[in-house]
Chain A
């Protein structure tokens, strides 16, 4: 957004009286520009995507998934997870709804993994920050991770680790609501406001960290800790990201800044995936419907998958630029 960049540059130089060629002025210009850019992109994307997603409610997904078996079911679970809207507060009723409708838990997990990981809006943002090939590769890889993880979980026959009450619940009821265009616009608008309220702080913090990395932290330090040649960089990035809770929109400026300083694409993506696919709040919610052992297996499989993917991107990522 060159027009925005020029606008902010004017603001910083003429209103704040700072030289944008120098470090302080440059940082402030970058910060204001990046924050505004992300908020604009976020609003437009979330609105458009939520509108589209209102055509793919989980209730319909539940029906569709019921018609498939085995690996295909996991694949569809992963695919539908990316376009179905759902906020993490719905993860429990959703899990219960899918499971008591007879869907294997692996399929539900494929859905639950791909949902936060391959989020339509953030994929578009990824494309705008890196490029479409990378965004596409990220989607592909996220789907593979979700499908395979879910298949493994199904294969390990872990049904006995689901809390028994889950199986007794509803499932037989099929709800569908006719939505008008006005309804959909409202849903999309509400979703934009809801998400902005939830993530604005992470964006401010994320851009701040990104700006610090961009302007203040020398490449040598970053290279020493997360450099491409360091075998542990992906594992480190993943482990740091797993317990963190932040929206993917907040991690993107950090990932962008890190890659700018020579950190491997895979390392940066691992960090992003770890932050979004696994988070303490969603783990706490899930622990209400599955027993600890299943939860830990789930976390282990997804973490391992992210590390593998990160290393793949580090090794082959240059082909995507």
Chain B
């Protein structure tokens, strides 16, 4: 599973990245979490508001910070 956190370095984006990393660890998942800061890459997903969570190339949420339970749900959905 590949998880991308889209965001160009603002505090919210960093927060979501940390939350996602922690959630992945908690779930014992072997998902790879990466941060995408490149503007062109971010926009190529159709995202106009960051932060955004992309799992296996599907945009799960954008423009807000989802709660941990939601992140877990997103991961479950893409398993």
- B64 and A93 within 8 A (CB): no
* Cβ contact within 8 Å between B48 and A90: yes
A131 at the A/B interface (Cβ < 8 Å)?
no
> Are B10's CB and A173's CB within 8 A?
no
B43 at interface by CB-CB < 8 Å: yes
Known: A89-B10, A90-B50. A190 touches B43 (CB 8 A): no
A-side binding surface: helix, strand, loop or mixed? helix
Q: Which of B46, B59, B65 contacts A190 (CB 8 A)?
A: B65
CA distance A187 to B59 in the complex (A): 18
Q: Are A93 and B61 in contact (CB under 8 A)?
A: no
Across the interface, do B64 and A187 meet the contact criterion of CB distance under 8 Å? yes
CA distance A169 to B47 in the complex (A): 11
Once bound together, how far apart are the Cα atoms of A187 and B64, in whole Å?
A: 7
**Cβ distance B43 to chain A, nearest Cβ, rounded Å:** 4
A97 within 8 A of B: yes
**Chain A CB within 10 Å, residue with most, of B44, B46, B61, B62:** B46
- Which of A31-39, A54-62, A112-120 is found at the contact surface with chain B? A54-62
Q: Which of B8-29 contact A (CB under 8 A)?
A: 8, 10, 12
Interface of B, secondary structure class, is: loop
User: With A94-B48, A173-B45 known to touch, is A186 a contact of B64 (CB < 8 Å)?
Assistant: yes
Number of interface residues of B (CB under 8 A): 22
**Alpha-carbon gap, A97 to B39, bound state (A):** 11
Interface size on A (CB < 8 Å)?
31
Question: Are B62 and A175 touching (Cβ within 8 A)?
Answer: yes
A194 to B70, CA, bound (A): 20
Are A169 and B43 in contact, with the CB atoms below 8 A? Answer: yes
**Cross-chain contact A90 with B64 (CB below 8 angstroms):** no
Task: Say which residue of B12, B48, B50, B63 sits within 8 Å of A194 (CB atoms).
Answer: B12
A175 touches B65 (CB 8 A): no
- A182 nearest CB across to chain B (Å): 9
Cross-chain contact B62 with A97 (CB below 8 angstroms): no
- A96's nearest neighbour on chain B, judged by CB, is B43
Given A186-B67, A190-B65: A92 in contact with B8 (beta carbons within 8 A): yes
The residue of chain B having its C-beta at the shortest distance from the C-beta of A165 within the complex is B40
Nearest-CB residue, chain B, relative to A90: B49
Within 8 A of B (CB), among A71-128: 86-87, 89-90, 92-94, 96-98, 100
Instruction: Indicate if A4 sits at the interface (CB-CB under 8 A).
Output: no
Docked complex Cα distance between A89 and B42 (Å): 13
B17 to chain A, nearest CB (A): 15
Which A positions have Cβ atoms within 8 angstroms of B? 57-59, 62, 86-87, 89-90, 92-94, 96-98, 100, 165, 168-175, 177, 183, 186-187, 190, 194, 288
Which 8 pairs across A and B sit closest by C-beta, in order of nearness? A173-B46, A97-B48, A89-B10, A169-B43, A96-B43, A90-B49, A94-B48, A175-B46
